[in-house]
Amino acid sequence: MKATRNLFSTLFLVISIVPIYSQYQNSCSIALTGDAIITRKLSVYNEPAFLKMIKVLRDADAAFTNLEMLLHNYESYPMHQSGGTYMRADPQMADELVWAGFDMVSLANNHTGDYGVGGMRSTIKHASRAGLLHAGAGESLAEAREARFLETANGRIALISCSSTFPDHSRAGKTRGDIPPRPGLSPLRHSRTYTITQPQMNQLVELGKSLNIYSDDFSPESRIRLLGDTFILGDTPGIQTKCNEEDLNEISSVVNNANTLADITIVTIHAHERKGDITIPADFVVEFAHQMIDAGADMVVGHGPHVLRGIEMYKGKPIFYSLGDFMFQNETLLRLPYENYERYDLTSDQHVGDFNARRYKNDSVGFPSRPMVWEGVIAMPVWENGKFTSIELHPLSLGFGQPRQVRGRPMMADEKLGRKIIKDLTDLSEPFGTKVVWKDGVGVVRLE
């Protein structure tokens, strides 16, 4: 009798576990977006195209964005150097992102250190309070590097984030135990080598001689270092970039470990660096993305250039070199520090609106004049039993040409703009051998 009861108990346990395990290994979708420069509430709007976008984010098992914003109440002073505009928003904006459906954010970008360690710590505090999983910044390099894990009903997701674009004071540091480590972001440093022709080399040699600024490894016949950069002799001018090996190896080891602890591992990188045209990632970014997949990442998500870049399927796994902007509200900051005004010779009786007008020459130059800045996509990869089955690309409009107080908030693009955005992505992805097609209002990545 006891043996019978034990048998029934065992069968009941197995029957109970199997559906849970099957569900856990079944379908999982993740909504991926680019940069979120948020200064204004989302939850007050109700246009159909906006709510349709919100539904896409909420319906996914998880949603990610790069939080390119600091959340604080000006408790900290601005640093002498920023990532461009000094970013700051009301801490409640973290709750707005949660309302929209986001679960995960990267904190590693060129604005992480705009308001020093205090601004970074405040952002971490408010993101955590709102329930946003975050990666890419911390009290030490080890903490900034580490993977963070999101539990969902359909799988455990690891998030690892870094930035290649940053003021040097933002970079987190190590410790030998005798001095506290430097808080900051997880960096991916890189080197640049310039190839120049013989006439250009001759000119550079003469310049170095006249200014007496050659480095010790001066070798005028084929290679010189000048003002911190390396120049080598070649037939065609060009720029080669390469990842810092120490950074690449450290991040790879984190990815390798995370891959053993999660069902899906995501690596994100904030990279402004280009190869010629802004839509083309620098060589080291491609090198980094490939290495991350080799180390065990299931996908790499790029952000930072404020435009779309191509998609590559590398060893059957997607690399989104840039998903463009998700929110771009850098013109409606409450305050700006002295340094921003000084740069444009603005006086103490001029304010944020005057800064915008001077910086962008009344919208005739810079971000407001570039349609591609105000376009993006939500990428939606779907797994079935651990394998990619589809990747959809939902085109977004951020309101190009609208007034400053309106533009920057995303919603689903109409069919005309949507087709244009997906056509752009099709063209940008072609050099990587990736095919993107328009189908039923979205872009679809061909996986075969």
Q: Note the pLDDT tens digit of each residue in 223-253.
A: 888 777 888 998 888 889 999 999 999 999 9
Q: Which of 337, 397, 367, 402 is nearest to 111 (CA)?
A: 337
Q: Which DSSP state fits 53?
A: H
d(CA 423, CA 291): 28
Q: What is the mean pLDDT of residues 26-42?
A: 96
pLDDT grade for 206, boundaries at 50, 70 and 90: confident
Q: For residue 101, which phi and psi values (nearest 5 degrees)?
A: 120, 5
Residue 74 has pLDDT above 90, yes or no: yes
3-class SS of residue 28: strand
Would you state the structure tokens that stand for residue 162, as one six-digit string?
């870094």
Q: What is the mean pLDDT of residues 174-182?
A: 97
Q: When comparing pLDDT for 10 and 255, which is higher? A: 255
Q: When comparing pLDDT for 18 and 400, which is higher? A: 400
Per the document, the length of the chain is: 448
Q: For residue 326, which phi and psi values (nearest 5 degrees)?
A: -100, -45
Tell me what the pLDDT averaged over the chain comes to.
92
Report percent pLDDT > 90 for the chain. 83
Beta bridge partners of 437: 444
Q: Which DSSP state fits 32?
A: E
Q: Which amino acid type is present at position 411?
A: M
Q: Which residues of 384-409 are buried (b: 16+ CB within 10 A; e: fewer)?
A: eeeebeebbbbbbbbebeeebeebbb
- Of 81-85, 328-332, 402-406, the range with the lowest mean pLDDT is 81-85
3-class SS of residue 379: strand
**Element at 145 (helix H, strand E):** helix 141-145
3-class SS of residue 268: strand
Do the beta carbons of residue 164 and residue 267 sit within 8 Å?
no
Q: Which of 325, 287, 327 is nearest to 309 (CA)?
A: 325
Would you state the structure tokens that stand for residue 314, as one six-digit string?
């590398």
pLDDT of residue 23: 42
pLDDT of residue 8: 45
Q: Structural domain boundaries of the chain?
A: 27-188+245-330+370-445, 198-233
DSSP track, 195-263: EE-HHHHHHHHHHHHHHT-B-TT-BTTTEEEETTEEEEE-SS-EEEEEE-HHHHHHHHHHHHHHHTT-S
Residue 5 has pLDDT above 80, yes or no: no
Q: What is the mean pLDDT of residues 373-390?
A: 94
Do the beta carbons of residue 242 and residue 282 sit within 8 Å?
no
**Element at 158 (helix H, strand E):** strand 155-163
Kindly report the CA angle at 155 between 300 and 288, in degrees rounded to 5? 15
Residue 9 has pLDDT above 60, yes or no: no
Q: Which of 268, 242, 273, 281 is nearest to 432 (CA)?
A: 281
Kindly report the CA angle at 369 between 367 and 375, in degrees rounded to 5? 65
pLDDT grade for 334, boundaries at 50, 70 and 90: very high
Write down the architecture of domain 27-188+245-330+370-445 according to CATH: 4-Layer Sandwich (3.60)
pLDDT of residue 6: 52
d(CA 74, CA 9): 60
Neighbours of 273 (CB within 10 A): 19
The CA-based dihedral angle spanning residues 354, 358, 364, 366, taken in that order and rounded to the nearest 10 degrees: -110
d(CA 392, CA 116): 38
Q: Which amino acid type is present at position 385?
A: N
Q: What is the mean pLDDT of residues 87-91?
A: 98
Helix axes 245-259, 283-295, angle to 10 degrees: 30
Say which residues have a Cβ less than 8 Å from residue 3's Cβ, sequence separation at least 6.
none
What are the tens digits of pLDDT across the range 164-173?
999 999 999 9
Q: Which amino acid type is present at position 128?
A: S
Q: Which of 54, 120, 110, 48 is nearest to 84 (CA)?
A: 110
d(CA 225, CA 420): 44
Q: When comparing pLDDT for 15 and 305, which is higher? A: 305
pLDDT of residue 20: 42
Neighbours of 167 (CB within 10 A): 17
Q: What pTM was estimated for this model as a whole? A: 0.91
